[in-house]
């Protein structure tokens, strides 16, 4: 199998089995679908993948998975080293049947990098590496960075306000006045439609924006303020719970991978 060309801003998702390339902050791909499954990995930087099931943000320690046939779009945060992998439909049976994000183990990271960095020096080497990748992805998907989106108009009115200003400190009661719904109704909708509390949804939204700011080099303190936390300590606690490492460690690891 020949090495795939690197994606470019003019054609970042060419129909090749593998690809890589640096994409600039703010670069977006409009909704589209593939007949094959697709893995997208930000080896350095971060990206968001949005489908009908919501949005997943994937920094360098996560990889996004989109099964065949799902409409999806991407947005890049910070200058990002993007790696693309097409998974033939016949090999997707052991993977989850809906869009997901997975934690990237050291073994999975090295396999993903090798698939896009190395020439195939022995026949079948790529297929064997791909089998390793699929084996690693049979673990349970990571849900902490998933931000589901509502269908109910009242709930969407609230989430739209928060998307526009993640740092907004309004209570659910105050947001409900704008949406024309009571706090009790909105709280119920968050649980029944999105499967999480209002607090958890807003925290996840803020973490998405925090990842983008940290990837762009904003300080931890400024990121905390920008995203609505009252102090850096509470931001660090929330970020560590969701992402699995402190904001400072995230930035240090990101700098090392970029280097």
Q: Are residues 169 and 222 in the same domain?
A: yes
Percent of the chain with pLDDT over 90: 71
Q: Are residues 153 and 235 in the same domain?
A: yes
User: Does 36 map to a domain?
Assistant: yes
Q: Which domain holds residue 245?
A: 148-258
Global confidence as pTM: 0.82
Looking up residue 157, the CATH number of its domain turns out to be: 1.10.10.60
Per-residue pLDDT tens over the stretch 63-115: 999 999 999 999 998 889 999 999 999 999 989 999 999 989 899 999 999 99
**pLDDT number for residue 259:** 66
Whole-Å CA distances, 14 to 23, 40, 100, 150, 153:
14, 13, 22, 32, 37
Q: Are residues 61 and 160 in the same domain?
A: no
Lowest-confidence segment of 5-14, 32-41, 167-176 by average pLDDT: 5-14
Per-residue pLDDT tens over the stretch 137-169: 987 777 788 999 999 999 999 999 999 999 999
| CB neighbours of residue 4 within 10 Å | 18
How many domains is the chain partitioned into structurally? 2
115: three-class secondary structure by DSSP: helix
pLDDT band at residue 12 under the 50/70/90 scheme = very low
Q: Which residues contact 207 (CB under 8 A, 6 or more apart)?
A: 57, 145, 227, 238, 239, 242, 243
Q: How far is CA 239 from the centre of its chain?
A: 15
Dist. CA 249–CA 259, nearest whole Å: 15
Statement: residue 9 has pLDDT above 50: no
- Boundary residue ending a domain (88, 103, 136): 136
The mean pLDDT value for 45-63 works out to: 91
């Amino acid at each position: 199998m020949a090495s795939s060309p690197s994606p470019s801003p003019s054609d970042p998702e060419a129909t090749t089995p593998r690809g890589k390339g640096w994409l600039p902050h703010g670069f977006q791909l409009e909704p589209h679908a593939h007949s094959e499954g697709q893995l997208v990995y930000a080896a350095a930087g971060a990206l968001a993948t949005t489908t009908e099931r919501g949005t997943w943000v994937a920094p360098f320690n996560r990889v996004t998975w989109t099964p065949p046939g799902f409409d999806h779009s991407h947005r890049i945060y910070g200058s990002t080293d993007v790696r693309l992998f097409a998974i033939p439909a016949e090999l997707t049976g052991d993977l989850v049947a809906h869009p997901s994000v997975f934690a990237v183990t050291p073994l999975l990271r090295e396999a993903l990098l090798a698939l896009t960095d190395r020439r195939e020096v022995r026949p079948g080497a790529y297929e064997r590496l791909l089998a390793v990748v699929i084996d690693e992805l049979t673990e349970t998907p990571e849900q902490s960075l998933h931000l589901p989106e509502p269908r109910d108009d009242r709930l969407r009115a609230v989430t739209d306000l928060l998307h526009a200003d993640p740092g907004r400190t309004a209570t659910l009661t105050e947001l409900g006045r704008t949406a024309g719904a009571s706090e009790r109704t909105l709280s119920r909708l968050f649980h029944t439609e999105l499967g999480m509390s209002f607090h958890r949804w807003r925290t996840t939204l803020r973490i998405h924006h925090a990842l983008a700011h940290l990837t762009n080099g904003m300080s931890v303190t400024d990121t905390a303020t920008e995203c609505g936390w009252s102090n850096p300590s509470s931001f660090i606690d929330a970020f560590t719970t969701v992402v699995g490492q402190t904001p400072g460690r995230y930035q240090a690891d990101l700098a090392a991978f970029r280097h």
